[in-house]
Structure 1
Amino acid sequence: MRMLVLLSLLFGIPILPAQAQEEREELNADRPDNSQGPGVVSRGYVQLEAGYNYQKLNTRIRTYAYPTALLRIGLLEGVELRLQGAVKDSVIENGTRRHIKGWGPLSVGTKVRLWEESGWRPEAAIGAMLALPLASEVFKPDNVEPQFNLGFSNALSENVDLTYNLGYGWTDGNPEPSYGANITRQFINKVSLYLEVFGSKGKGEPAEHQADMGILYLLLPNLQFDVAAGRRLNKAAPNHFITTGLAFRLPR
């Protein structure tokens, strides 16, 4: 019911679309939402997306990532190279507090546009990442762990977009399917609001479902600030999280 109320409020606000001035191309970031869409960095551009993430898993464990960083390089039209990593810090409280800190795995991969949107057919892209065993010992996977993602996007109106994806990968050697879907609307010039649901299911584990809400603010045609917060939809999922960061595209 709360989600329906938020949706009705979201869609009832008139807005103006935010236009990027640099070659009239919008800055399209893959953060902070989890529903990675089909947007691909154009050929010749370099885009950096970085931020801070805090997550409370349960009453004992809290995790921090600072910075999370994703480097996207437009290699060809419709093809980008992706490099991703983060510094991680877990705080475990069990009578006493201790920290587990280090570099998370370095991931390398690509995203390739499959086709453009046409009528009811969504824009689509496929992504593939490999998490390499290049990390601090406490966070290092035993083997290379692939992650695949199919991202889609439909323009529901001039100002409202629906983005959704399906993912499949491996974590600690076990398969883990995932999904995500969000609705984004620009409600004043250069400001957008999104609502999202996403989740995953590890092998032998109950499915985890979460929801979040975020704000995107286009400070400059090539610089975007974001902030988002979410919480669990079932007891198996992490309790809640907060994230904030920036997306910056270097001039070509």
Structure 2
Amino acid sequence: MQVPKILFSFIIFIPRCYTQELVTDRPDQTESAVTVPLHSLQIETGFAYESFNENNIYVENYNIAGTLFRYGLENNVEFRFGAGYLIYKGEETTVDFDDLLVGLKINFLKEDSAPIDLGLMAHVVVPVFPIFNFQLIEPELIFAASRSLSDKFSISANFGGSWDSQWTEVAYLYTTVLGYSFTEKLGSFIEVYGNLSSSFSPVHNYDAGLMYLLSNNLQLDISGGRRFSEDDSFWFISTGVSLKINNF
């Protein structure tokens, strides 16, 4: 059985138009095209529960304090480090640190001077969690683009690929998201995302969520989603918080 996992999707556009102060890479399944400001540290953390059932094989994942650290190295370059703690419940229960993410994001275009926001992320995923011990270090590249449609609506798309060490091939990733801002503080999104590979059937998912801005540098979120499939049952819920520290 291939253990299901939410692959780092590709740009998603939640209502990032509702504030210019805090642009986060959660709660959606993707990354924005925007980098954090120079010398700013942004911490995005939360809890996620995943349930998967296929061919009478039932798996539960509890991702505890899954955290992405983002630091502005330049005005258009950020360093990224992701870590977390995972409880995997399958035939046996395994508790350990989740795989690590290390990389950079570069912003090439900004919508205030170009038609779209455009960015590129280069990551490596370092295997740590013991149940995935067949993995090697896996590189990935993700292109991110986004555009505001109005004061209320925005749209984005992501496309990229990562090396799958289990199947020794490239797995392709995509995401498309529509964001809507109810107010300056309350935003929402709906999204479709998935992955494609020659070794297994395409996987397509959808999710939705809400974000609430407590201040210019502090945001709460909640989201949930499931799979477009009659053959298996996959769904998840997630909640978290994002904090930006300026001049760190």
Classify the TM-score, shorter chain: 0.7 to 0.9
2:148 aligned to which of 155, 163, 166: 155
Report the Cα offset of residue 171 of structure 1. Answer: 2.8
**Residue of structure 1 equivalent to 2:225:** 230
- Change in Cα spacing, 1:189 to 1:114, as seen in structure 2 (3 Å) is closer
**Residue of structure 2 equivalent to 1:62:** 60
The 2-side partners of 1:188 and 1:119 are apart by 25
Secondary structure at 2:200 match in 1: coil
The 1-side partners of 2:231 and 2:42 are apart by 35
**Residue of structure 1 equivalent to 2:97:** 103
Matched, 1:83 2:90: no
The 2-side partners of 1:155 and 1:224 are apart by 20
Report 1:35-46 matches (<5 A): 35-46=30-41
- Change in Cα spacing, 1:196 to 1:76, as seen in structure 2 (3 Å) is same
Return 5+ residue gaps in structure 1 as ranges: 1-14, 20-24
Check whether the contact 1:70–1:84 (CA below 8 A) recurs between aligned residues.
Answer: yes
- Change in Cα spacing, 1:189 to 1:36, as seen in structure 2 (3 Å) is same
Q: TM-score, normalised by structure 2?
A: 0.85
Secondary structure at 1:138 match in 2: helix
**Residue of structure 1 equivalent to 2:132:** 139
**Residue of structure 2 equivalent to 1:167:** 160
CA displacement, residues 160-192 of structure 1 (integer Å, 9 cap, x when unaligned): 110110020023343210100111111123000
Report the Cα offset of residue 121 of structure 1. Answer: 3.0
The alignment yields a C-alpha RMSD, in angstroms, of: 2.1
Check whether the contact 1:206–1:236 (CA below 8 A) recurs between aligned residues.
Answer: no
- Change in Cα spacing, 1:142 to 1:189, as seen in structure 2 (3 Å) is closer
Secondary structure at 1:121 match in 2: coil
Structure showing greater Rg: 1
Q: Which amino acid is the alignment partner of residue 160 of structure 1? A: F
The 2-side partners of 1:68 and 1:50 are apart by 6
- Change in Cα spacing, 1:235 to 1:121, as seen in structure 2 (3 Å) is farther
Check whether the contact 1:104–1:139 (CA below 8 A) recurs between aligned residues.
Answer: no
The 2-side partners of 1:141 and 1:125 are apart by 31
Report the Cα offset of residue 18 of structure 1. Answer: 4.3
**Residue of structure 1 equivalent to 2:118:** 124
Secondary structure at 1:245 match in 2: strand
CA displacement, residues 33-74 of structure 1 (integer Å, 9 cap, x when unaligned): 113220110111000000111111116111111111100000
CA displacement, residues 147-168 of structure 1 (integer Å, 9 cap, x when unaligned): 1100000110122110110020
Report the Cα offset of residue 140 of structure 1. Answer: 4.5
Check whether the contact 2:213–2:219 (CA below 8 A) recurs between aligned residues.
Answer: yes
Q: Which amino acid is the alignment partner of residue 189 of structure 1? A: E
Check whether the contact 1:123–1:153 (CA below 8 A) recurs between aligned residues.
Answer: yes
Q: Which amino acid is the alignment partner of residue 226 of structure 2? A: R
Report the Cα offset of residue 227 of structure 1. Answer: 0.2
Percent identical pairs in the alignment equals 26
- Change in Cα spacing, 1:39 to 1:104, as seen in structure 2 (3 Å) is same
Q: TM-score, normalised by structure 1?
A: 0.83
